[in-house]
Amino acid sequence: MRSHLRRSEPTGAPATRSLLVSDLHMAAAQGPYGDPLADDTAIAATLQWFAAQLEQPTRLVILGDLLDFVLAPPHARRGAPADDLAAAKLEAMAAAHPRVFAALAAFAAAGHSLEIVPGNHDIELLRPPIQAHLRGLLGGAPLAFHPWIMYVPGVLYAEHGHQHQLANHFVRLLDRCTSADDGLPPAPARSLDDLRALLADRLGLPAQNLAALGAATGRALLAREPGAAGAATEAAVGLFRLARSFAALAQADGGERLTASLHQATSELELPAEALVEIARGCRPTVRSAARSLRRASRAHRRAPRSHGIAPRTGPDHFMLEAARMVDGVLREHGVGVAFYAFGHTHIASDIPLGQREPTSGSGGGAGGGPRYVNAGTWSTLLRPGRNSAADRLRLIEIAHEHPGPPTARWWRWDADARRPALLDGRSLPQ
């Protein structure tokens, strides 16, 4: 049986360089939340510049949420086939972002490869019909899809990262590659986001929290406004799906079924099956483990001394750093560790040695100091509260792995004045 863990097309000569980007969140302006990638200029020009400058085969690794199927119209219709709805959303996103789609196609046409790791907002890219539709919209460009993990021996372990978070964990992730709707509920946060977007669209309201949309639905029902009954029905169905999502997490299988499916899926990933099973079990969160992690993070934040004015890493991306440490421990135990552990999802750009407990500005120069956790941040306008846009947005990580030297990493950021990406020095690296 063909592996569902890594499904790729041939992409020519082996790449010795990887460019990592994450979380573009392309949607469409007519959605209730607007479009988080409001301007195509930066990412399109960045891809065009690299396509023209690179002389060696290079892989562009998109670490999840390239597309935002939650925010893009049209919104869910009861009874509509899941693949048909996803295809319609994909068409809307391509129409809203012609420059980005053209730049991706041109990058592939220049002899480089495009490799996509789906995230929680574009989990639809696990489905072969949607993958084929995206290839068509990119002019037939060869695409490699990694449903969960991308692995380059000795160099890079990469995933989006949502599987390590309780609210965004998808049970039976690999089964979704073969079935669009086999009774598999989405992650709880995805159920919630889908419901919010649907109600905002049905009621003609801007995006609000679920409680506000629920109150608006109730007022519409009392006033007998057109469409109110339909919105109430959709709300009830959505809440039922949300309950199913949490129930699925509580019953998530971590035993024989998981072990068998992962053993079967490792032939193309070059990772020991036992290591993959350990990672899968380690990233399967439970309510109890999530509460324990929060308590531990809170205690560490109160007790740990500050060094050079930098607080211990206990913010919204602490769970991702801990996930990187967990994966690194598993891979090193099996003798297959790598230099860089790359994630997306948090929208917080980071470059942190896994052997230290606090962020540093770092040199960004390579793996000589041990394995590193890296996160490219986001190209969207969806930022964490209190974060600096300049620190987390419009960044790209370049990882070179030419033998015999060790793998090295460099950071780039879009420079609006120069109209091209600029190489960052050590003082500008994320913390």
> What does 308-354 look like in DSSP terms, one character per residue?
TTBPPS-STTHHHHHHHHHHHHHHHHTT---SEEEE-SS---EEEET
Q: Is the same domain home to 303 and 370?
A: yes
Dist. CA 48–CA 44, nearest whole Å: 6
Q: Tokens 């998981």 identify what position?
A: 258
- Report the half-sphere exposure of 4 (CA within 13 A, side-chain side): 17
Q: Is the same domain home to 117 and 236?
A: no
Tens of each residue's pLDDT in the chain, 431 residues: 344 454 445 445 566 889 999 999 999 987 767 899 978 999 999 999 999 998 888 999 999 999 999 888 887 655 567 888 899 999 999 999 999 999 999 999 999 999 999 999 999 998 899 999 999 999 999 899 998 899 999 999 999 999 998 888 887 777 667 655 555 667 777 777 777 777 777 666 666 665 666 666 666 666 666 666 666 666 666 665 666 665 665 555 544 455 555 555 555 677 888 888 888 888 776 555 555 555 544 554 444 333 322 233 456 678 899 999 999 999 999 999 999 999 999 999 999 999 754 444 333 444 457 899 999 999 999 888 878 778 899 999 999 987 677 899 999 999 999 999 999 975 444 44
- Helix axis angle, 128-137 to 82-96, nearest 10°: 20
Q: Which of 187, 216, 251 is the last residue of a domain?
A: 251
Enumerate long-range contacts of 215-220, CB under 8 Å, 24 or more apart. none
Q: Is the same domain home to 227 and 296?
A: no
Q: Is the same domain home to 308 and 397?
A: yes
Predicted TM-score (pTM) of the model is: 0.82
Q: Is the same domain home to 247 and 258?
A: no
Q: Are 20 and 14 in contact (CB under 8 A)?
A: no
Bridge partners of 343?
375
Q: Is the same domain home to 216 and 261?
A: no
Q: Are 50 and 422 in contact (CB under 8 A)?
A: no
Domain-embedded: residue 77: yes
* Residues shown for the chain: 431
Nearest Cα to 325, choosing from 152, 157, 155, 117?
A: 157
Q: Is the same domain home to 257 and 286?
A: yes
Compute the C-alpha angle 18/20/25, nearest 5°. Answer: 150
- Report the half-sphere exposure of 365 (CA within 13 A, side-chain side): 7
Q: Is the same domain home to 296 and 209?
A: no
Domain that holds residue 190: 178-251
Alpha helices in 56-138 (DSSP H): 82-96, 98-109, 128-137
For residue 276, give the CATH number of its domain. Answer: 3.60.21.10
Q: Is the same domain home to 213 and 278?
A: no
Name residue 19's amino acid: L
Q: Where do the DSSP E strands lie in 25-97?
A: 58-62
Q: Is the same domain home to 74 and 154?
A: yes
Total number of domains constituting the chain: 2
